Amino acid sequence: GAGVSQSPRYKVAKRGQDVALRCDPISGHVSLFWYQQALGQGPEFLTYFQNEAQLDKSGLPSDRFFAERPEGSVSTLKIQRTQQEDSAVYLCASSLEKVTEAFFGQGTRLTVV
Amino acid sequence: AQSVTQLGSHVSVSEGALVLLRCNYSSSVPPYLFWYVQYPNQGLQLLLKYTSAATLVKGINGFEAEFKKSETSFHLTKPSAHMSDAAEYFCAVSVPRYSSASKIIFGSGTRLSIRP
């Protein structure tokens, strides 16, 4: 596709439910990033992939958060046993080899009730 | 570690007036700097970027920013505000690496409102 695509756009989960958020990066982009954006805040870094390798996961808030990119293209962010504080917009971005310009998707708005 | 501070969570200007959004950065090495814009329920769109070339950077929609190392600043300006400029603006920093990409660190954002 022409841009970064994220699905679903909106997700409502009951507390304790597991969720999976998908990101389709721009074709050929080596780098892929996940960010969490709470209401009224700037995006907070979660994790970074170069191809299929997860090079930085220092921003993942707990072991309930897990990300993968098995074939170096599509990525999935999984949140287990969701809690209310997980409610946020999750943004995915991709770029060519170095971050001189990262392209963002429209995000997935997760609401945990 | 790198960080950015955006001064003013909300800025309001009249249509046609100068827009000035302030950003100061902290980095132990020469950084890359960015300004992104976010419209409601949308992702982030790159306005402009500084990557160690010219210190005055021109971006889309008439915006520009000047990198001032002595002041550790990267303020965003536009000579004449338009109603369509109303949005959230984020300043961001990253550290260039030769072997891989580097995470982008964002500020907390400045909401720009335009008065008719």
Selected residues 16-35 of chain A with any CB under 8 Å from a CB in chain B? 30-31, 33, 35
Chain B residues with beta carbon closer than 8 angstroms to that of A106: 41-43
Torsion of CA B114, B40, A64, A94, to 10 degrees: -100
pLDDT of B101 higher than 80: no
pLDDT of B42 higher than 70: yes
d(CA A63, CA B80): 48
Structure confidence at residue B19 (pLDDT): 98
Q: Using CB atoms, which residue from A55, A104, A109 is nearest to B44?
A: A104
Q: What is the mean pLDDT of residues B25-48?
A: 90
Query: Comparing C-alpha atoms, which of B43, B50, B95 is closest to residue B75?
Result: B50
d(CA B62, CA A23): 31
- Average pLDDT for runs of 10 along chain A of length 113: 90 98 95 94 93 92 96 96 97 82 92 97
Q: How confident is the model at residue B100 (pLDDT cuts 50, 70, 90)?
A: low
Are A42 and B51 a contacting pair at CB < 8 A? no
